[in-house]
Structure 1
Amino acid sequence: MSFILDEQIGAVLRLTLNRPEKKNAITQDMYQRLADKINEAAGDFSIRAVVINSNGDSFTAGNDINDFANDPQMDEGSPVFNFLFAIHNFPKPLIASVKGRAVGIGTTMLLHCDLVTANPDTQFSMPFVSLGLVAEGGSSYLFPRLVGHAKASEILLTGRTFSADEAKEMGLINSIAADELAAAMAFANEIAEQPPNAVINTKALLKSGSHEALNQVMKAEGVLFKMAAESDEAQLAFMNFLAKKSKVK
């Protein structure tokens, strides 16, 4: 069974995280498949937009801690980096449909999306500091630009969870809907009906002021993230996290 499903519906490619029994925690293989599909969609004229969604009751619990702790790949060319740069460089509209828990990369990837819909019960968090890590995916640059330094510091330094209502107030998501996937597909289909070159050029203009700066920030984050992941502090945090999970079970 594939943990990443892909289906083209008209001019929209839907990519579905399909590991519900693990809250869609993302492995290295899943990152690479997502990267490959997004990069393929960039060069496929029949695809006008991409929607990322999930099966099960959560968007994603973030990185698969067991997979990641054993091999914390964050170098350029690694599956994680390939995915992050695929969404950063994707020239067409990228839309996310979010529900349940959106942890770590489940929130930071949204900063690269052009439109995001969320279920009213969605809970967002970026608990990098809590795991002895640093922000990734360009979030140390994009999140303060979106919400301001004070709010970004509050959330990133505490790792606290925030609601769909707060996410909408921040401007992280566009809309809250009971059927978040239907809302996302409606956005995607509306955009797919627009002249495609005008859409691509408009997105490029919207991102032009920060695109290269973000490249450099993402590379710096990757270096620091890898150093942090290999530290004793992070390894202890990982062990504590896994111990808590086993007690819950």
Structure 2
Amino acid sequence: MVLELTGIESRKIMIDTSKITTLKHDIEEAKHVVFLTGAGISTHSGIPDYRSKTGIYNGISEPPETILSEDTLYQRPELFHNFVMQNMYFPDAQPNPIHEKIAKICNEKGYLITQNIDRLDTKAGNQHVLEFHGNLYEIYCTKCHQPVSYEAYAQDFRHQDCGGIIRPKVVLYGEAINPETLTKSVEIMRQSDLIIIAGTSFVVYPFAQLLAYRNPAAKIWAVNKTPLPAQGINEIIGDALDVFPNL
């Protein structure tokens, strides 16, 4: 059965309700659900994604791999600071129904591994969140290693106490994922009996490689606007905002 829905901003879409029903049943039957999410989850909270036509990388003066690198952080700290402040921080953003539904399921019987660095999942009350690429709001001085508030960082990239360069605790281009994060991610994947991928093109590594560590018996679903490159996935093609409230 195909259902015509009119959603946010009068978006008219067609959704296969039988797939939603099956996914809902799989969630109810699962003992350990794992969500793998990306930027598409937060766009409905007013946070742009990265590489779409309206994304933060569109039309920038230098490649993002250059601007958001450790070299730029230390060699051109003003450029780094201006870019993240103008394009990546949305302190007033609030969780949307997708965050809320994921939080409800995770708090009951699951875990979220997210690429997002906007902390909206924890704002939604999710107690089982692993931020694979870190969190923009964990900010510290690279010289004295003291924590720094967002408000202080917004004013200056230099630490007033010691003059060190301040940075958010996120994985920059060229930096490795925290080994503890990788170990925890693999552990979570191995416990899974249901995996739900949402709001991500699932092409960024090593995040996309996490599927290799899943429980072989786990069912895999994707709720995404476009098909994913991975094989063996049950897919609902559409906007997650039109799907998750019905789960």
Length-normalised TM-score, structure 1: 0.29
Q: Of the two structures, which has the highest relative contact order with CA contacts closer than 8 Å and spacing of 6 or more?
A: 2
| Structure number, greater radius of gyration | 2
More helix by share: 1
Length-normalised TM-score, structure 2: 0.29
